[in-house]
Amino acid sequence: MAVLRELVVFPSKCLRGVRSYFLSAPLFQNGFLKLNESVSKDGHALDLEQSDTKKISKAMKSYMERAKIHDNFIKQQLHEYNIGKRHLANMMGKDPEFFTQADVDEAIRYLFPSGLFDPRARPMMKHPDEIYPKRKAAEFDVNGRPYHSLFYTSKPNYYTLMHDLAVKFKQLDRHEDKIISRGIQDQKPTELFLFGSEWIPKQKVENVLLETLTDAQYENLIKTFERFSQHPYSALEKDFIMQFRRQLAAQVEIQQVPELMRDESGRPYMTYNTRRKTSNAAVKVIGQGTGVISINGNDIHFFQREQDKKQIIFPLQFSDMLGKVDVVATVDGCGTSAQSGAIRLGISMCLRSFVNAETIERMRLAGLLSFDPRTRERKKPGQAGAREKFTWKKR
Amino acid sequence: MPITETITDTFRTNELDPMNHRKDHDGRFYSISQSVKKQLFTGGGLPKEYKELSETLNGLSIMVRKPAIELITYLNKTNFDAPVTRYVLYGKTGSGKSISLAHILHYGSNAGMVLVHVPWVPNWVRFPKGCTPSVIHPNMYDHPIESVEWLRHFSTQNGLLMQKLELKTTETYTWSKREMTAAGSPLSELIDLGMNRAKYATDCVAALLGELKKAAVSKRCRVLVVIDGFNAFFSPRSKVQREDKSIVLPTEFVLTDAFLSLTRNDWTNGAIVVSVDASALPLELRESPLPRYQLGKQGFEHLDPFIPIEVPNYSEKEFHSQIDYYIERNWLQQPKARTDRGRAELSFTSGNHPLSLMKLVAPY
């Protein structure tokens, strides 16, 4: 069934009207196109009974009906969602007024425990906005006249955006000229605010614009944005640009390095529990040491293979802590490779508390602080192994 | 390395006589001359890889370590009128027990003691060259070839000393209707008989050991018994099989009997130094390197009371000394290995374990 999310459409004449790009209000709000603030004007567009005596084509009629049905559907879903939220709050014994989406998620997880692997397959209860895809509302009126001036480009929002960029670029140039003409020499153009983020991918742009783009169109858009953001005064349009950028994960998660603990004799130490494949390791690194190592009560020769010993020594050597700290580790499960890998990660994580920030960064770049998520791949039916197939016979 | 060369390195010592080795020689190498090496170790006594390495590095140099120093101190202070003290060296495989025994052997040789040295007992238990049922002792087994070899080894080690001592047999040994060794005949005759007649060699060994015991008690000589891998005498398995494929236990060997009688503390004027090693026993009995576990009930009861001496991994000083030696001999050729970081890595990866270090540093 076609699902429409009702949108308000900006009347075409307002597009070229008074619109200041230097206002704080961004062009796109809440991830969807909101070109019109006035809702009331739309009322008539959907009211079939009060329309003109002019004949409406069947296609038009069915289009209007579909829009209305969808509109009602979404309203109904929203109503049910809100009622459902209150029911859930009652069930969970919480206050319905302050029942947030996070609380809803937790309640669903509790009431409908699921062992399914993919989070998207598990039961969920979310706001209809998040479930039902957004779609453009009526793009033309009862008489079939489109509201958007660029409607016949078939991608009005995309081309609007491109035009906007061009217009804004010219405005920034004019601003720059004004600055120069006023002789404000010391006004430095603002720095790049693009660090730590990247342009949103094609899919996301399509979601924002509610139109499908070809790869060439997307690339064109990005190139235009790049050119735009390279203008010295582009920071004035920062909010506009940032709507189309997303933060990179590494900048957002900065892990807190735990403080060193002290044991009875006053020696600093740090513990960490890790795993690799199915083996678990509990590692304790004790400062003011001489390089004593104990794995499950044995010395380094617990691992007979040289490669396993090298795994253990790597973080200590890399951070120059060999012979300065003692290591006590217990490990079980899986094989020697996984065990030594788990201990290596444990030692690296513990050493973070002993070394300076620069060394931690170097360790991160060396891959010492990354958890190895690889696990044994499942054997599939109809195959000999995870990837290996049975012998293929031509006949 | 020639003895006349002046030694300035801190990892070497000038003191070439083990009788004078004391605590401050700990961690230092002393060299053993070719002639001494030939005399003492031709029949065995140095581990194979160690021996080959010493030949590559142009001279046998042994590190003076705490267990050997401890033993030498005890031996120097021993009251030889009291019953013999038994010392048991124990430690992980590859921690340096055999080398310490070799050091003690050199000491004994310099101290003028008669050396009764078994290089590696498991050779008799696990790789016998042909055991035959004994004629004299029912239900027991001879080692004809090994006994001949051992007698040869004994005479090489103690050749000159035996000539000087001129020991005589105290009783008559009848080998067959026509062959016998009368009482009062020189021991060298007994040894020669054993070396020539493989059939009677095992019993010659037994007889020789008995004679030496008596000679020691009567103060005609001082005997130092050095046995490596003693716990193999009490191993639950051997490679010797009867006709019905049943296994002959080592306690059913004539040689075992002989050496066990020698290692009893019912004689004086001697010392017994023995080592127990996990590799002397089958795989399932290698859990612990400690003497009680390695000797088993029978062995422990035989040797009890004894003085256990642990042979540990390298101390930091000993480790650096070993690395210095390897660097000086140009065995460690990587420039990175010669740095502090390199040393730390070697120490860590080998766990300061002597054998592991030797293997780690080897190019093969």
**B117: burial class by Cβ within 10 Å (0-12, 13-18, 19+)?**
buried
Instruction: Chain B: give the shortest CA distance to residue A269, in Å.
Output: 20
Contacts of B348 in chain A (CB under 8 A): 291, 293, 300, 309, 313, 316, 322-323
Query: Domain span at residue B191?
Result: 18-310
Note the Cα A330 to chain centre separation in Å.
37
In this structure, are residues A124 and A130 in contact, taking their beta carbons and an 8 Å threshold? no
For residues B284 and B141, membership in a common domain is answered with yes
Please answer yes or no on whether A322 and B353 come within 8 Å at the CB atom. no
Distance CA A302, CA A54 (A): 91
The amino acid sitting at A234 is: S
Q: What is the pLDDT of residue A106?
A: 94
Judge if B262 and B345 occupy the same domain: no
A293, A301, A303, A312: best to mutate for the B interface, most B CBs within 10 A: A301
- What are the start-end ranges of the E strands in B254-339? 270-276, 307-310
Residues B121 and B248 in one domain: yes
Q: Do B347 and A310 touch (CB under 8 A)?
A: no
Judge: A323–B348 Cβ closer than 8 Å, yes or no: yes
Q: What DSSP string describes B279-297?
A: GGS-GGG-S--SHHHHHHH
Of B60, B59, B57, B65, the closest CA to residue B28 belongs to B65
Check if the beta carbon of residue B83 is closer than 8 Å to that of residue B266: yes
Q: Are residues B136 and B205 in the same domain?
A: yes
Cβ count within 10 A of residue B160? 10
Alpha-carbon span A35 to B79, nearest angstrom: 109
| Element (DSSP H or E) covering residue B316 | helix B316-328
Binary contact (B348, A291; C-beta < 8 A): yes
- The reply to whether B6 falls in a domain is no
Beta carbon pairs, A and B, within 8 Å: 32
* CA-based nearest distance A111→chain B, Å: 53
pLDDT tens for each residue of chain B, 364 residues long: 444 444 456 888 888 999 999 998 899 999 999 999 999 999 999 999 999 999 999 889 999 999 999 999 999 999 999 999 999 999 999 999 999 999 999 999 999 999 999 999 999 999 999 899 998 888 999 999 999 999 999 999 998 899 898 889 999 988 888 888 888 899 999 999 999 999 999 999 999 999 999 999 999 999 999 999 999 999 999 999 998 999 999 999 999 999 999 999 899 999 999 999 999 999 999 999 999 999 999 999 999 899 999 999 999 999 999 999 999 999 998 898 889 899 999 999 999 999 999 999 988 7
- In a 10 Å sphere around its CB, with 0-12 CB exposed, 13-18 middle and 19+ buried, how is residue B357 labelled? buried
Please check whether residue B7 lies inside any domain of the structure: no
Contact B344 A322 (CB under 8 A): yes
Residue B266 belongs to some domain of the structure: yes
- Taking the CA of residue B345 and the nearest CA in chain A, the distance in Å comes to 8
Question: Does the beta-carbon distance from B345 to A306 stay under 8 Å?
Answer: no
Print pLDDT tens along chain A (395 aa). 433 344 444 444 434 433 333 333 334 433 334 443 333 344 444 445 445 556 677 877 888 888 889 889 999 999 999 999 999 999 999 999 999 999 999 999 999 999 999 999 999 999 998 899 888 877 887 778 888 999 999 999 999 999 999 999 999 999 989 988 888 765 666 666 787 889 999 999 999 999 999 999 999 999 999 999 989 889 889 999 999 999 876 644 566 888 898 888 889 999 999 999 999 999 999 999 988 999 999 999 999 999 999 999 999 999 999 989 999 999 998 899 999 999 999 999 999 999 998 899 999 999 999 999 999 999 999 999 999 999 999 98
Q: Is residue A305 within 8 Å of residue A336, measured between CB atoms?
A: yes
φ and ψ of A197, to 5 deg: -140, 165
Q: B79 lies in a domain?
A: yes
Q: Please list every residue in chain B whose beta carbon sits closer than 8 Å to the beta carbon of residue A300.
A: 348-351
Sign of the dihedral defined by the CA atoms of residues A64, A65, A67, A68, in that order: positive
Do B331 and B254 lie in one domain? The reply is: no
Amino acid A163: pLDDT: 96
Residue A323, min C-alpha distance to chain B (Å) = 7
Q: Which residues of B touch A299 (CB under 8 A)?
A: 351, 353
Q: Phi-psi category of A114—alpha, beta or left, where left has phi over 0 and alpha has psi -120 to 50?
A: beta
Q: Of the candidates B345, B350, B356, which has its C-beta nearest A322's C-beta?
A: B345
Dist. CA B313–CA B341, nearest whole Å: 20
> Do B348 and A299 lie within an 8 Å CB cutoff?
no
Q: What are phi and psi of A331, to 5 degrees?
A: -145, 145
Q: How far apart are the CA of A272 and the nearest CA of chain B, in angstroms? A: 22
Same domain, B196 and B117: yes
Q: State residue A185's pLDDT score.
A: 67
Closest partner residue to A309 (CB to CB) among B341, B344, B349 is B349
Q: Do A300 and B341 touch (CB under 8 A)?
A: no
Q: Does residue B44 share a domain with residue B186?
A: yes
Domain edge (last residue) among B270, B286, B310: B310
Which residues 290-349 of chain B have a CB within 8 Å of chain A?
Answer: 341, 344-345, 347-349
Per-residue confidence (pLDDT) for residue B180, from 0 to 100: 86
**In terms of domains, do B300 and B331 share one?**
no
Domain contains B163 = yes
A364, A340, A367, A339: which is closest to A257 by C-alpha?
Answer: A364
* Partner B, chain A 286-345, Cβ-Cβ below 8 Å: 291, 293, 299-301, 306, 309-310, 313, 316-317, 322-323
How far B142 CA sits from the closest chain A CA (Å)?
Answer: 39
In a domain, B13, yes or no: no
Final residue in a domain of this structure, among B285, B310, B335 = B310
Residues B45 and B98 in one domain: yes
Task: Please tell me the predicted confidence (pLDDT) of residue A44.
Answer: 45
Residue B302 and residue B249 share a domain = yes
Q: Is B34 inside any structural domain? A: yes
Residue in B closest to A314 by C-alpha: B345
Q: Which residues of B touch A301 (CB under 8 A)?
A: 351, 353, 356
Q: At what angle are helices B34-41 and B144-165 packed, to 10 degrees?
A: 130
Considering the domain architecture, whether residues B260 and B344 belong to the same structural domain is answered as no
Instruction: Show Cβ contacts of residue A196 under 8 Å, excluding neighbours closer than 6 positions.
Output: A247, A248, A251
How many domains is chain B partitioned into structurally? Answer: 2
Name the CA radius of gyration of chain A, rounded: 31
Enter the tokens of residue B234: 């009490």
Q: How far is A295 from chain B (nearest CA, A)?
A: 12
Residue with tokens 């200590």: A316
A300, A325, A347: best mutation site toward chain B, by most B Cβ within 10 Å? A300
Judge whether A89 is closer than 8 Å to chain B, CB to CB. Answer: no
pLDDT digits (tens, 9 = 90+) for B72-81: 999 999 999 9
Domain final residue, candidates B289, B310, B331:
B310
- Partners of B351 on chain A (C-beta within 8 Å) are 293, 299-301
Helix (H, G, I), strand (E, B) or coil at A395: coil
For residue B33, the 8-state DSSP code is: -
Same domain, B148 and B284: yes
Q: What are phi and psi of B32, to 5 degrees?
A: -110, 130
Place of tokens 């035989």: B302
CA distance A94 to A100: 10
CA of B33 to nearest chain A CA: how many angstroms apart?
35
Q: Using CA coordinates, name the residue in chain A closest to B316.
A: A290
Residue B3 in any domain: the answer is: no
How far, in Å, CA of A138 to CA of A44, rounded?
A: 12
Contacts B344 to A, Cβ<8 Å: 291, 317, 322-323
Written as six digits, the tokens of A391 are 């012998």
In single-letter form, the type of residue at position B286 comes to R
State the nearest Cα–Cα gap between B341 and chain A, in angstroms: 8
